[in-house]
Structure 1
Amino acid sequence: MSIAEMTAKIDAGQGFIAALDQSGGSTPKALALYGVEESEYAGDAEMFDKIHEMRSRIMTSSSFTGDKIVGAILFEMTMDRDVEGKPTSHYLWEEKGVVPFLKIDKGLEAEANGVQLMKPMPGLDALLARAAKLHVFGTKERSVIHAANAAGIKAIVDQQFDVGMQVIKAGLMPILEPEVTITIADKAEAEAILMAEILKHLDAMDPSLKVMLKLSLPTVANFYKPLVDHPRVLKVVALSGGYGRDEANALLSQNTGMIASFSRALSEGLNAKQSDADFDKTLATAVDSIYRASIAG
């Protein structure tokens, strides 16, 4: 597995990144949307078996290939499991040509100063070492902005870059994800503060280093173009953030150089009870539409 090949695939951006990284807190909802009720499993172990079945079905579908999907973000338990007899990260790259990433955050702190920072990540160095051994290319870490609070947003960005530097030292590519809640009244103001803070960090970085950014679709089209064009940024990807797929795609297509990293918008319409043919057809429709929106810019 060549890091150079993976970097080139992400840099070219001819497709999107599939977010298959629902964690323990969001898994029941993801399964319910997939048509698997809580009565169909007992306890966390069976729940994670069910979600791995869902993710495996997506990854092994004929519609899921590196032609339109450049990367996939995995939950830790997904990384540690196999797909068709291979470690998931190996399967993605060797069989599908899809670059593997790993979600590393452990959830969110309580809200303070209008934001939710990431919880502490004990054992992160060991997790990063394990990911590197499995030829995972990069990581993703999420925190959330709920208000245009300058102190809170500065704290979010400082924490994101601190973790990002730890990831880089482990030989992996960080996706920094300071999500702005799409329903807040001062979203545009929050985005302006966020971009200014991110640019401060990027401008101060060692010129030999790069990060990726995962951001909410901006209020004003192409607002994040200075980040897309920054020499320290490998790629800017967009989260759907609660928008339905059609609306997320429409907004994404207005933003030059950004590609999708959708979760709910990708799995929308998929159901455990579907035949394989119907499942593949539904997934193909999602993949095609998100791909078109990602390359539209």
Structure 2
Amino acid sequence: MTSAQIIDGKAIAQRKQAEMAEVVANLSLQIDRPPGLAVLMVGDNPASAAYVRNKERACQKLGIASLGQHFAAEVGQAELEQVIDRLNQDDRVDGILVQLPLPEHLDATALLNRIAPNKDADGLHPFNLGKLVRGEEGLRSCTPAGVMALLHEYNLDPAGKTAVVIGRSILVGKPIAMMLLEANATVVMAHSRTKDLKSVVQNADILVAAVGKPNLITAELIKPDAIVIDVGINRITDATGKSRLVGDVDFAAVSEVAGHITPVPGGVGPMTVTMLLHNTIWSYCRKHGISYS
């Protein structure tokens, strides 16, 4: 029996995307083109291919032009840099995203840094991360921004709460810590070198798990009525040979203790795509001097 309230990211994402579709439809009447998003995918990673398909379908549903390209796994760094340079100059393109992970011979950081900051749909350019650190308006990393949107939708104000973030990646851990700090939480970061994870996590009013280890977070670690945000996505195979997605949190057990919890799938994931679309529309509006938040 689940006692925690489920934070339904899928339902919120659907509602927000419906609202964005209306915005795009109205703006497309004023401006002679729709917003444009270019997703660059390299190779045939099945998970990446599924993510890209989801993004392309979402673009189609919202009326956003999908201008992405798919490259063979052997593509060179120079070719990709030239493609990004062209997209930076293309007036039809408002957002550019390089689908990660990339093959090992490619320098992902150099490619991400080559994207024009005003077209950085994933919010990972140093310029935009710097804006986040300074608390200035700008494009925000999609998954952390999605987490903050979920907290807002459920009226879960981080102000004054102790927030523990497990994981310190530039994709999720570091930017979500900055966003929670900006929202006046007291933020503690835990990671692989944290000596006593249990004592750190047990103080969390808000726990964000972003590590990539199935069932790392067990019920005994959770403070009663804590808000548990599970960013982890792990594919496991059960005894019957069937595979399924699970998070970093032991959902069934933790649900008995927590006050609110995100499921996997259906929690943070749908909001990541939603914030990508939001960023694309934001850049589109900014280019045309239109306010959009």
Larger radius of gyration: 2
Greater RCO (Cα-Cα under 8 Å, separation 6 or more) = 2
**TM-score normalized with structure 2 length:** 0.32
**TM-score normalized with structure 1 length:** 0.32
